[in-house]
Amino acid sequence: MNTPIEHSDEYWMAKALRLAERGLYSTSPNPRVGCVIVKDNRLIGEGWHQQAGGPHAEVHALRMAGDQAQHATAYVTLEPCSHFGRTPPCANALAAAGVARVVGACRDPNPQVGGRGFQHLRDAGIEVTESCLQAQAEALNTGFIQRMRSGLPWVSIKLAQSLDGRTAMASGASQWITGPDARRDVQRLRARSCAVITGASSVLIDNPSMTVRPAETGIEQPEHLWRQPLRVVIDGQQRLSGNEKLFNQSGDILLAVTDPTRVTVQRAAELGQLTLWQSPPTRSGKVDLPALLQFLAAQGHNEVLVESGAHLAAAFVESGLVNELVLYCAPTLLGSSARPLLVLPLESMQQQMRWQWQDIRMIGNDLRLTLRPEQDQPG
Amino acid sequence: MNTPIEHSDEYWMAKALRLAERGLYSTSPNPRVGCVIVKDNRLIGEGWHQQAGGPHAEVHALRMAGDQAQHATAYVTLEPCSHFGRTPPCANALAAAGVARVVGACRDPNPQVGGRGFQHLRDAGIEVTESCLQAQAEALNTGFIQRMRSGLPWVSIKLAQSLDGRTAMASGASQWITGPDARRDVQRLRARSCAVITGASSVLIDNPSMTVRPAETGIEQPEHLWRQPLRVVIDGQQRLSGNEKLFNQSGDILLAVTDPTRVTVQRAAELGQLTLWQSPPTRSGKVDLPALLQFLAAQGHNEVLVESGAHLAAAFVESGLVNELVLYCAPTLLGSSARPLLVLPLESMQQQMRWQWQDIRMIGNDLRLTLRPEQDQPG
Q: What is the total residue count of chain A? A: 379
The CA distances from residue A48 to A94, A131, B42, in Å, are: 15, 19, 59
Higher per-residue confidence, B248 vs A16: A16
Cα B142 from Cα A234, distance rounded (Å): 53
Q: Would you place residue A3 in the very low, low, confident or very high pLDDT band (cuts 50, 70, 90)?
A: low
pTM of the predicted model as reported, rounded to 2 decimal places: 0.93
Lowest mean pLDDT among A107-116, A131-140, A204-213: A107-116
* Residue of A312, A329, A332, A336 for testing the chain B interface, max B β-carbons within 10 Å: A336
Question: What secondary structure letter does DSSP report for B149?
Answer: H
pLDDT of residue A4: 66
Tell me: pLDDT of A254 over 80: yes
Express as a percent the part of chain A with pLDDT over 70.
98
pLDDT of residue B4: 66
Helix (H) or strand (E) holding A339, with range, is strand A339-340
The CA distances from residue A129 to A73, A95, A134, B4, in Å, are: 10, 15, 12, 52
pLDDT of residue A289: 98
Cα A237 from Cα A285, distance rounded (Å): 9
The residue of chain A with its CA nearest to that of B343 is A336
pLDDT of residue A191: 97
Bridge partners of residue B359, in order along the sequence: B370
Q: Three-state SS string across A222-284, please?
A: CHHHCCCCEEEEECCCCCCCCCCHHHHCCCCEEEEECCHHHCCCCHHHHHCCEEEEECCCCCC
Lowest mean pLDDT among A132-136, A270-274, A356-360, B147-151: A270-274
Residues from chain B that touch A175, judged by Cβ atoms under 8 A, are 349
My answer on whether omega of the bond before B176 falls inside 30° of 0, hence cis, is yes
Q: What is the total residue count of chain B? A: 379
The CA distances from residue B186 to A3, A199, B192, B241, in Å, are: 56, 41, 10, 27
Bridge partners of residue B76, in order along the sequence: B35, B104
Computed on alpha carbons and rounded to an integer, the radius of gyration of chain B in Å comes to 23
Mean of per-residue pLDDT scores for chain A:
93
Residues from chain A that touch B170, judged by Cβ atoms under 8 A, are 347
The CA distances from residue B170 to A279, A315, A345, in Å, are: 35, 21, 10
pLDDT of residue B271: 75
Cα A90 from Cα A96, distance rounded (Å): 10
Q: Which of A6, A10, A46, A58 is catalytic?
A: A58
DSSP H helices, B127-280, are 134-139, 142-150, 180-192, 200-206, 214-217, 267-270
Residues from chain B that touch A352, judged by Cβ atoms under 8 A, are 162, 332-335
Give, for all 379 residues of chain B, the pLDDT tens digit. 566 678 999 999 999 999 999 999 999 999 999 999 999 999 999 999 999 989 999 999 999 999 999 999 999 999 998 877 777 788 899 999 999 999 999 999 987 778 999 999 999 999 999 999 999 999 999 999 999 999 999 999 999 999 999 999 999 998 889 999 999 999 999 999 999 999 999 999 999 999 999 999 999 999 999 999 999 999 999 999 999 999 988 889 999 999 988 888 877 777 788 999 999 999 999 999 999 999 999 999 999 999 999 999 999 999 999 999 999 999 999 999 999 999 999 999 999 999 999 999 999 999 999 999 998 644 4
Q: Would you place residue A111 in the very low, low, confident or very high pLDDT band (cuts 50, 70, 90)?
A: confident
pLDDT of residue B336: 96
Classified as helix, coil or strand, A365 is coil
CA A290 to chain B, closest CA, distance in angstroms equals 21
